[in-house]
Structure 1
Amino acid sequence: MVKRVLIIGGYGNFGSYIARSLASDPAIRLLIGGRSVEKAERFITSLETANPAEAHRIDIDADVGAALAAMAPDIVVHTTGPFQTQDYRVARACIEQGCHYLDLADARDFVAQIGSLDAAAKAKGVLIVSGASSVPCLTAAVIDHYLPGFERLDRIDYGISAAQQTNRGLATTSAILSYVGKPFEMIRDGRPHSVFGWQDTHSERYPELGRRWFGNCDIPDLALFPSRYPQLQNLRFAAGHELAILHFGTWLLGWAVRTGLIQSLAPHAERLLRIAFLFDWMGTSRSGFHMYLSGQGKSGGQKTARLFLIARAGHGPYIPCMPAILLARKLARGEIDHVGATPCLDLIGLDEYLAALKGLDISVMADSVHG
């Protein structure tokens, strides 16, 4: 039986990647939703679909329940951010409608507290998954893959470096800018420690990409991982622009927020995004992800495991979109029995995740060092 999969924001930045990946699946009929039916219809003409796609108007700030009742989706993929300023109205509407729900949220509290809907989701027999994206799905999958090789995992240090010449949406920009210069907690020396967004500037040298700069970013992992991996003494996630001039420009603006000269950068997201586009000629379409795990190995010595993902040709956005793509396919085929509300943990293993990236211009590089 063909399942109706609604992508909210289906013609947008991440939604379009997910739609193109699911379009040819014979088990799926795509419903492309957004505030503009005209944009949805134009986007549908660019798709090669196994089943006829549909264009629908849906506004998450309006009556989502009525819209879902009219469309009758089996699965909803919510891609319209920023999630830092949203509540669970879309997820609740999906529970009431009796359809599964996936989102690409990167907001710390939004993802970490999705379990508050668990009882309601179980009562309706639906799966509600938040954070079906790089964080926490990919990051936890990497840790879980390497964890059996550690007697004690002490430190996790990881980050994402975005390509300058890639699709950058206003919602993602607003999400990042919402915490630039603002305080939040990371685990340092086994205790919560206050840090500031886009500060603690440091660089990492990537294979092929060379040196990239990073600053602190607030993500769901920082709330989820201390209890999931209780031996951790240090946990740091960071992100950065490909171009140093933009990275340090954001760093300076972060200081303006930290010192109170600017309350928040989020209201200025559209203008700052337009400025960033002016520098595209200086950049590339290559993005990167790195994760370093260190601690005591099984033999008693120091052990470090490292993993890099290098994405070229603008394929970087497929990495955060892949969990939603994989889960939508599984749900459409009835391959997931789990119901309830959960962050996107323990649903996709690292091997499955990386196998899904094959065919894209994305390389995986990994090694382990024993002291």
Structure 2
Amino acid sequence: MVARVLIIGGYGNFGSYIAHSLAGDDAIRLLIGGRSVLKAKAFVDTLDASNTAESHAIDIDGELGDALARIAPDIVIHTTGPFQSQDNRVARACIAQGCHYLDLADARTFVATIDQLDADAKAKDVLVVSGASSVPCLTAAVIDAYLPAFARLEAVDYGISAAQHTNRGLATTSAVLSYVGKPMTMLREGAMTTVYGWEDTHVVHYPGLGRRLFGNCDIPDLTLFPRRYPTLKSMRFAAGHELKLLHIGTRMLGLLVRLGIIGSLSNHAENLLKLAFAFDRFGSGRSGFHMFLDGIGHDGNPLKRRFRIIARSGHGPYIPCMPAILLARQLARGSITQRGATPCVDLIDLDSYLAALEGLDITVIRDEVDA
């Protein structure tokens, strides 16, 4: 049986990566959905699909129930952000339709509260997964892989540095800008502490990439992980631009937001995105992810573990897409029996995640000493 997989936002940045990755799977028929059926049709024509792909008009702000009944998907992958300004109406519509649901959400409350739909999803025998992306799927997988080495894991410090040549979209830009200069809480010294988006500027060195700047970012992990890893005393997640000038400029704009001089930078996302594109000549297609873990080993001595991913040739965006790709393939084959609603943790282990990245211009560095 061939599973009908609808990608909402299928011709967008992340949706197109997922579509091209799934197109050759003979267990899947791709359904490319978006507000413009003409754009969906044009994109479908570029796919080398094992099963004839379809184009469909669907608007998440419209009559979702009617649209899903017409399209009749078995699995829905929701890629249309920003999720910071959405509720879970798409997931609820999928549950009502009786189809599985996956999203690439990175919005803290959106992902952390998806389990409120658990009973409804189980009643309809479907799986609802939020945050099928780098956070919290990859980040939890990295911690889980290293956790047995620790008698007590006390701190995690991690972040993502985007490539300047990443095919940035307006939704992703709006999502990031929504918390620049805004208050958020992070676990610091055993207590949830207020910090501000894009502040706490710090430098991380990547082999082959050099020194990259980072600042605070808001993600689901900051709510999920203190409960999941109760020995943690401190957490920090940060993100940054490849180009230091753009990073510092964003930091200065964030200060104006914090002082109340201007409102949310997400209101200016379109103009700021155009400005960022003007600097592409100075950047590259190289991005990075790092996670530094600190705690106490089983011998009672301090223990450190360091993990890095370096992506080149513009392949970085494939990393956040992998959980949705892997889960869609498994659901299409009936190899996942879990039902209910959950953040994307405990579904994909680190080895499976990294194996899916093979063949891309991506290097994984697992070192056991401080770098």
AA aligned to 1:204 is: V
TM-fit CA distance, 1:369: 2.9
Whether contact under 8 Å (1:286, 1:313) holds in the other structure is yes
**Alpha-carbon separation, structure 1, partners of 2:245 and 2:261:** 21
Aligned 8 A contact 1:188 1:235 in 2: yes
Matched residue SS, 2:369:
strand
Instruction: Kindly indicate whether the alpha-carbon contact (under 8 Å) linking 1:303 and 1:368 is maintained by their aligned counterparts in 2.
Output: no
Where in structure 2 are the equivalents of 1:102-121 lying within 5 Å?
102-121=102-121
1:191 lines up with 2:168 in the alignment: no
Task: Give the residue type in structure 1 aligned to 2:164.
Answer: Q
The equivalent residue for 1:147 is 147
Aligned residues: 370
Gaps of 5+ in 2: none
The aligned amino acid for 2:218 is: D
Match of 1:25 in 2: 25
TM-score, with structure 1 as normaliser: 0.99
SS in 1 for 2:132: coil
Does 2:363 correspond to 1:363?
Answer: yes
- Structure 2: distance between partners of 1:254 and 1:369: 34
What's the counterpart of residue 6 of structure 1?
Answer: 6
Report the Cα distance in structure 1 between the residues aligned to 2:359 and 2:299, rounded to whole angstroms. Answer: 38
Q: Name the amino acid aligned to 1:16.
A: S
Matched with 1:245 is 245
* Sequence identity (%): 70
- The alpha carbon displacement at 1:263 in A equals 1.5
Give the AA of the match of 1:207.
Answer: P
1:269-289 Cα shifts (integer Å, max 9, x gaps):
000000000000000000000
1:326-370 CA deviation, whole Å, 9 max, x = no partner? 000000000000000000000000000000000000000011139
SS of the residue 2:203 aligns to: strand
The worse-fitting range, judged by mean Cα deviation, of 272-281 and 361-370 is 361-370
* 1:160, distance to aligned residue in structure 2 (A): 0.1
CA distance in 1, matches of 2:366, 2:298: 19
Alignment of 1:36-75 (within 5 A): 36-75=36-75
3-state SS of the aligned residue for 1:51? coil
1:89 corresponding residue in structure 2: 89
* Structure 1 Cα separation of the partners of residues 308 and 264 of structure 2: 32
For 1:358 and 1:299, how far apart are their aligned partners in 2? Answer: 35
* Aligned Cα root-mean-square deviation (Å): 0.6
Question: What amino acid is aligned across from residue 53 of structure 1 in structure 2?
Answer: A
Match of 2:223 in 1: 223
SS, match of residue 19 in structure 2: helix
Deviation digits for residues 189-224 of structure 1 (CA, Å, limit 9, x no counterpart): 010000000000001011110000000000000000
CA separation in 1, counterparts of 2:297 and 2:207? 25
Cα distance, 1:23 vs structure 2: 0.2
Contact 1:289 1:308 in 2 (8 A): yes
Paired AA for residue 78 in structure 1:
H
Q: SS state of the match for residue 276, structure 2?
A: helix
1:52-74 deviation digits (Å, cap 9, x = unpaired): 00000000001111100000000
CA distance in 2: counterparts of 1:62 and 1:45, whole angstroms: 26
Q: Which runs of 5+ in 1 are unaligned?
A: none
Match of 2:337 in 1: 337
SS of alignment partner, residue 154 of structure 2: strand
Residue aligning to 1:162:
162
Superposed displacement of residue 136, structure 1: 0.1
The 10-residue stretch of structure 1 (67-76 or 40-49) with the greater mean CA deviation from structure 2: 40-49
Distance 1:38 1:312 in 2: 32
Question: How far 1:245 moved relative to its partner?
Answer: 0.4
CA distance in 2, matches of 1:351, 1:151: 22
Alignment-mate amino acid for residue 103 of structure 1: D
Instruction: List structure 1 segments (4+ residues) > 2 angstroms apart after TM superposition.
Output: none
1:135 aligned residue: 135
TM-score of the aligned structures, taking structure 2 as reference length:
0.99
Query: Take 1:186 and 1:259, find their aligned partners in 2: how far apart are those partners?
Result: 20
| Pairwise CA distance, 1:301 | 1.0
- One-letter code of the match for 1:38? L
Q: Distance in 2 between matches of 1:342 and 1:284?
A: 36
Distance 2:367 2:245 in 1: 31
Q: 1:284-323: CA deviations, max 9, x gaps?
A: 0000000000100111111111111000000000000000
Is residue 303 of structure 1 aligned with residue 268 of structure 2?
no
